Amino acid sequence: MRYLTAGESHGKQLTTIVEGVPSHLPLVREDINESLLRRQKGYGRGRRMQIEKDLVEIKSGVRHGYTLGSPISLVITNDDFKHWVNIMGEDPIEEADEVKRKITRPRPGHADLNGALKYRHRDMRNVLERSSARETAARVAAGAVAKKILSLVGVNVVGYVKEIAGIVADNYEHLSLGERREKAEKSPVRSLDDEAGKKMMEAIDLAKKEGDSLGGVVEVVAEGMPPGVGSYVHYDRKLDARIAGSVVSINAFKGVEFGLGFEAARRNGSDVHDEIIWSQEKGFYRKTNRLGGFEGGMTTGMPIVVKGVMKPIPTLYKPLQSVDIDTKEAFEASIERSDACAVPAAAVVMEHVVAFELAKALLEQFPHDYFPSFQKAIEDYREEVRCF
């Protein structure tokens, strides 16, 4: 299973094509729209979320509520495009108008300058429109299809905010996955700790007032993955490595860790590794889950716990210094419409990106042309390894 996205931030639409989804998977627009609308919520979001209401149209690959096994094309129309036709339209324009609208001033922390150098764009609008985090809506759409697959084979994935601006949510380890989902949906910052959530919102308000932005840490937990999914044989098939790569591919994400993560470097081995035990009911499992559900690039059957680090958004109302690519003169970077903090929304994005990698790994490991056969293969495997 794989997907391709296309579209610009202020273009006509975002398009996602998902290939490799089994036939006879029940799938309707609401399965995807729910995820898209969740992505648009969150304390600290900018005005763009008030302009666009992301809803999907399924253009191919689904008939009468079930997948066909052929590529699925998903379209999210940009309602705001009507105001951008002259700027983002595909038809040629007069050279004078092109010069007038040209962006030659790269913003620090963005793809503007690097993209312009790579593709030789003298107008950096050509870069910033595609490099915008708006593209994550298309990725969430693909992840929503993956989450549907996972939910029907007993795998549940939930994302929430662990930290914003050094304020850490705590005291939620006792909550079930369902309780975490419910609590995150009720919190404006997707925090599982009410007290920490209030402090996070205060910090966001202060940053917005000062023209600054904030980053944080997102945590995603997945329960129900059978053991042995992934590979120790090939470096590029290690599932934790794939997840790590997908997480840092999200706009503004700069780090990832599993379980204890970097804390493991500060502990003795006896306080890091998870002891193995066995019971008739469960088969093999671990007493603890410090390694976050992975050993040797494969799942252990324990909950997968992965954290992603998001830097503060670089579009600031307190501009940073840069250099005009045409005049080579110094200036203060221009401001595009932006968020003071996008970590709550990024939690939804990361949840769906992780879900896609989990579903993809399962589809690689088990027969998957026909969804009921895929379900049965996983069910049989679970029973086989339980009795191993």
Q: What is the pLDDT of residue 49?
A: 56
Q: What pLDDT, on a 0 to 100 scale, did the predictor assign at position 337?
A: 55
pLDDT of residue 335: 62
Left if phi > 0, otherwise alpha if psi is -120 to 50, otherwise beta: which for 157? beta
| pTM across the whole model | 0.94
User: Which residue is associated with the tokens 């709550």?
Assistant: 344
Q: What gap in Å lies between CA 17 and CA 71, rounded to an integer? A: 6
Q: Which positions of the chain have pLDDT values less than 70? A: 44-52, 98-99, 315-317, 334-338
Instruction: Centre a 10 Å sphere on the Cβ of residue 271 and count the other Cβ atoms it contains.
Output: 12
34 φ, ψ (degrees, to nearest 5):
-60, -45
54-100 residue pLDDT tens: 999 999 999 999 999 999 999 999 999 999 998 999 999 887 776 67
Structural domains in the chain?
A: 2-386 (3.60.150.10)
Rounded CA gap, 242 and 230, in Å?
9
CA distance 197 to 189: 6
Q: Which residues of 105-138 are buried (b: 16+ CB within 10 A; e: fewer)?
A: bbbebbbbbebbeeeebeebbbbbbbbbbbbbbb
Three-state secondary structure of 44-89:
CCCCHHHHCCCCEEEEECEECCEECCCCEEEEEECHHHHHCHHHHC
Q: Are 48 and 337 in contact (CB under 8 A)?
A: yes
Separation of alpha carbons 296 and 238, rounded Å: 8
Q: Cα–Cα distances in Å, from 377 out to 2, 150, 165, 372?
A: 21, 14, 45, 9
CA separation for the pair 162, 340 (Å, rounded)? 17
Q: What is the pLDDT of residues 135-179, one digit of tens each?
A: 999 999 999 999 999 999 999 999 999 999 999 999 999 999 999
E strand or H helix at 306: strand 304-310
Report the Cα–Cα distance between both ends of the chain, in Å, rounded: 29
Residue with tokens 């799942």: 299
Longest dimension (CA), the chain: 77
